[in-house]
């Protein structure tokens, strides 16, 4: 199951970077298997993904003034079933906030959605 969570996270990262950079297959990097219909995390059976984006104001993005561009993405690894899944975590580059890893380390389970947001919104999203 750890490999499934790792794959899930890697798929999400690849999906979020798609608009900015070519995907690995586009660069000729071979992978086993074939892509799903949408070549996205939502192709994984049983996984649900939702998001909310807040865009407010206009103009330059200046600290303390100007427009707002923020949001959150929620990944539900077991969809609407809400059942615990075996899990583990890895800090990758050790940067950013990963709330909930203590519980995953102690129990070995993921019982909540995976929520992705900007660093300053981690507390609110939690």
Tokens at 117, concatenated: 């947001």
- pTM higher than 0.85 for the full model? no
Q: What is the pLDDT of residues 78-99, one digit of tens each?
A: 988 888 999 998 877 776 668 8
CA gap 39, 126 in Å, rounded = 29
Specify which of 6-10, 48-52, 53-57, 66-70 reaches the highest per-range mean pLDDT.
48-52
CA gap 62, 46 in Å, rounded = 41
The residue ranges of every structural domain in the chain are: 2-125
Using CB atoms within 10 A of its CB, is residue 35 exposed (0-12), middle (13-18) or buried (19+)? exposed
Q: What is the pLDDT of residues 97-111, one digit of tens each?
A: 688 889 999 999 999
């Amino acid at each position: 199951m750890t490999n499934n969570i790792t794959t899930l996270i890697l798929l999400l990262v690849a999906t979020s970077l798609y608009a900015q950079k070519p995907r690995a297959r586009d660069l000729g990097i071979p992978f086993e298997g074939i892509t799903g219909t949408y070549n996205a995390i939502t192709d994984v059976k049983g996984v649900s993904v939702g998001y909310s984006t807040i865009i407010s104001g206009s103009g330059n993005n200046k600290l303390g003034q100007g427009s707002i561009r923020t949001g959150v993405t929620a990944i539900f690894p077991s969809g609407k079933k809400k059942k615990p899944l075996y899990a583990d975590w890895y800090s990758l580059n050790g940067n950013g906030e990963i709330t909930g890893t203590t519980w995953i380390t102690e129990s070995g389970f993921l019982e909540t959605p995976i929520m992705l947001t900007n660093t300053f919104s981690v507390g609110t999203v939690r």
